Chain A
Amino acid sequence: MAKITLSNLAHSYLPQPKGEQDYALKKLDHVWEDGGAYALLGSSGCGKTTLLNIISGLLKPSEGRVLFGDRDVTHAETAERNIAQVFQFPVVYDTMTVRQNLAFPLRNRGMAAPVIARRVDQIARMIGMEAMLDRKARGLTADAKQKISLGRGMVREDVNAILFDEPLTVIDPLMKWELRTQLKTLHREFGHTMIYVTHDQTEALTFADKVVVMYDGRVVQMGMPAELFEKPAHTFVGYFIGSPGMNIFDAEVEGNVATVAGHQVPLGAAYSGLSGRVQIGIRPEYSLLGDQGLPFAIRRVEDVGRHRIVRGEALGKPMNVILPEGMPVPASDARVQFLADRVNVYADDWRVEGGAL
């Protein structure tokens, strides 16, 4: 087990990348602490899998280095890295039984038969497949196969890290929850570094201590789930985390006041000298409907149980507001107010930290 350092890493699938747009993974420096449970979150095609494959050595990066502890493994083969990886779609060895499948990585490391047997039983219990150990893997359903893949990923105790590439896509929702819990237990028990790729924010937030959000080949933010929610470093994070995502408006900001389409919005901090495209972002959770503030035209109300999502239009743009349980839905031309210290200010999509008032 070791800390994984990515230093000046970049990757392009083209042999001669011309500009930044040719890079699937833009230059990044990143450290995965030993024993951390990370979720790598981002929309499809943002470079998550590329990053994962570089860590596991399935892909050689065009630039930069990968270090496990102090050892430079940039050019080491996957097998030398002693790393486990679970893929999006099940990969099982058809001709083997479930037991042989689970034992395969251990056997390849030449471990003793009793050790293998004990570990295989343990993992089988964890993925709930004890009863099927002696069946051929071939005839099983997709989610049983994926459980085998997961089990094979977790069976080695001494791996440097376990990488999960959207492993629960093919698993049914109930089982998903259970397996995720199992993964957490496993993490607590063995303290493996785990990196879990997903585009599902619930999955990311429930699994990980730290969430890494990627956008367009870059890591845009890494932090605790609460940080991502309160202070999204990039408009993409604001939009991607949260349901519904952050409301974002083009604005002019001077001091502690933002002007949006002629209306003034008070801010919780002071800003000066902003350049580029300036925007403000406000979570639906921190918007209040009432009879004061900006005009808000209600279009639709969705009841999602604990609260209601009010979809409407403010300042000429679609906007969502979350109405806590018990609050009445106002009449059609309501007004909306933002909690001043929850408003984030962005310049060219990146968050700007405000100064004292």
Chain B
Amino acid sequence: MEKTLNNKAWFLVLPVLLLVAFSAIIPLMTVVNYSVNDTFGDNQFFWAGLEWFQEMVTSDRLHEALGRQVIFSAVILAIEVPLGIYIALNMPKGGVWSSVCLVLMALPLLIPFNVVGTIWQIFGRVDIGLLGHTLAAIGIDYNYTNDPVDAWITVIVMDVWHWTSLVALLCYAGLQSIPNAYYQAAKVDQASRWSIFRYIELPKMRGVLLIAVLLRFMDSFMIYTEPFVVTGGGPGNSTTFLSIDLVKMAIGQFDLGPAAAFSIMYFLVIQLVSWVFYTVMTNLDKEEAK
């Protein structure tokens, strides 16, 4: 077939290009700009090259925040994924109760992050909070504003409370797609509960689990609002995760150059880890299909 050459057609791409430019490229380039320059405001820039990057890569402060971040993400994934699967397996499969369950499970997901933080901030307070006060009353020494361990526990429990539903709902959707014949066949084959999970439910949930893990990883790796509202990154720096540190640096100290370099690396790390996750899991999938 003869193709009509008409380069004017490129103009049709222009609106999208503009949209993407304003929504993504230009803001991102601003960050790039800050990361390679030094500025004292007034739009005066001094070329700094890769200095900020060097400073950030060798910064102990960043290393510590990254360490905390990795531990936090690992812990919440280790709790939320199995717990979400467990909840999904035990949810009613149909009828009124399944609807009730679904609504209850969806509730935490509908609460704004800020509000979640505030809820737990108050809930955990020793003077007026239900949790904090009760724990104090029964003689457990709990205080998330003083004790780093308590702060961590609070932040983790809060995240589990907030996000396990997401994993559970995704898994539930995966489970619902399994035809009844599979369970019947398993009964006929005298399969144990574990075998049913291992050979029927888990393989069928694989796709949604991949999405759940990916979403939970990205969200937890970028977490900011909730721990910031509850602990403000403290006590000391004990719950200062990457985002919180970044904001402190950029807005608290007005170190725009290092903060921009930090942002770019942060962004790349998330991209990289997500890509690795995705590739590994889809490759496993292909491997299985062989």
Contacts and interface: CB of A to CB of B under 8 A. Distances in A.
B174 to A, nearest CB: 13
B137 interface: no
A87 B189 contact: no
B189 A104 contact: yes
A87 B192 CA distance: 20
Interface in B159-180: 179
Contacts of B185: 85, 87, 91, 149, 152
B199 A109 contact: no
A152 B186 CA distance: 11
A279 B89 CA distance: 57
A79 B195 CA distance: 13
Contacts of B200: 93
A138 interface: yes
A138 B199 CA distance: 12
Nearest to B192: A108
Contacts of A96: 199
A105 B195 CA distance: 11
A108 B187 contact: no
A297 B112 CA distance: 81
A94 B288 contact: yes
B181 interface: yes
B290 interface: yes
Interface in A110-164: 135-136, 138-139, 149, 152-153
B160 to A, nearest CB: 29
B188 interface: yes
A259 interface: no
A93 B195 CA distance: 10
B203 interface: yes
A89 B181 contact: yes
Contacts of A95: 199, 203, 288
B289 A138 contact: yes
Residue from the set B185, B190, B192, B290 with the largest chain A CB neighbour count within 10 Å: B190
Interface residues of B, number: 19
A62 B190 CA distance: 24
B182 interface: yes
Interface string A76-105: 011100111101010101111000000011
B184 interface: yes
B79 interface: no
Q: How large is the interface on A (under 10, 10 to 19, 20 to 34, 35 or more residues)?
A: 20 to 34
A205 to B, nearest CB: 27
B191 interface: yes
Given A87-B181, A91-B181, A91-B182, A78 B188 contact: yes
A139 B290 contact: yes
A139 B288 CA distance: 9
A85 B290 CA distance: 27
Nearest to A85: B188
Taking chain B's interface residues, is the majority helix, strand, or loop, or is none over half, making it mixed?
helix
A138 B284 CA distance: 14
A106 to B, nearest CB: 9
Interface string B260-290: 0000000000000000000000000000111
Contacts of A57: 187
B37 to A, nearest CB: 54
B276 to A, nearest CB: 23
A89 B184 CA distance: 12
A83 B184 CA distance: 12
A138 B288 contact: yes
B189 A152 contact: yes
B92 to A, nearest CB: 17
Given A89-B181, A95-B203, A78 B290 contact: no
B199 A79 contact: no
Contacts of B199: 93, 95-96, 104
A58 B181 CA distance: 10
B182 A78 contact: no
Nearest to B187: A78
A58 B189 contact: no
Contact of B290 (A89, A105, A109, A136): A136
In the A-B complex, the 5 residue pairs with the smallest Cβ-Cβ separation, listed nearest first, are A78-B187, A91-B185, A105-B189, A79-B190, A108-B190
Given A58-B188, A93-B200, A94-B203, 9 more contacts: A58-B187, A79-B190, A89-B179, A93-B199, A95-B203, A104-B195, A108-B192, A108-B195, A139-B290
Interface of B: 179, 181-182, 184-185, 187-192, 195, 199-200, 203-204, 288-290
21 contacts: A78-B188, A79-B187, A79-B190, A83-B188, A84-B188, A85-B184, A85-B185, A87-B181, A87-B184, A87-B185, A93-B199, A94-B204, A95-B203, A104-B189, A104-B191, A108-B190, A136-B289, A138-B288, A138-B289, A139-B290, A152-B185
